[in-house]
Amino acid sequence: MADYPQPAPPRPVTRRGYALAVAVAGALLVFCAVLPWAGLEVRSGLIGGGLASDVRGIDDPYGVWALVAGLAALGCGVAGLLSRPGITALAALPGGVAVVVLVLFMTDGSGLRDRLSVDLGEVLSIGPAVRFGWFAALACSLAVVVLSVLALVRRA
C-alpha cells in the first residue's frame, strides 16, 4: 500500500494583528494632530475670492492632548506586538480620551471669534469651518477604541 501524505499540522494562531492595527491607528492619530482642524473663512462675491485661516490640532491644548493620546495608543500597540497581545486592550483608555478631547475641541470654543458668523449675501460671508484633520483624528481615535476592545474580546 502507498503512504498518503498527511496534512500539515495547523499553525498556531497569533493575536498580534489587533496590536499592529492599534499601533497603526495610534500613529495615524499622532499624524492627524498636526493637520488643520478648524479655520475661519472669509468669502466675497465682489472680488471673486476669499481668505482662510487654519488652526492645526497642536496649536490648541486639546490638540496636544490628542497627540499625547495617540502616542500612548501607539505605545500600547507596539507593546502588544513585542510582548503580550493583551496589553493592546489598554489602548482603549487613550483612544477614549482622544474622542472626548476632539468633541471638547468643537464644543468648547475660546470665545466670540470661534462662533463668529456673518453672511451679507454676495458681498461678504465670514464663518468658522471644520477641516479634514479633525474628522481624520476622530476616525483614528474611534478606530483605536474599537480595535483595542476587539483585541480584548477576541483574547478571551
Q: In what order do the strands lie in the sheet with 125-130?
A: 49-56, 36-44, 125-130, 118-119
Looking at the predicted structure, is the pLDDT value of residue 111 above 50? no
Residue 28 to residue 91: CA distance in whole angstroms? 14
Q: What is the pLDDT of residue 109?
A: 63
Structure confidence by residue, pLDDT tens digits, 17-31? 889 999 999 999 999
pTM of the model: 0.80
* Each residue's pLDDT tens digit, 27-51: 999 999 999 988 888 888 777 778 7
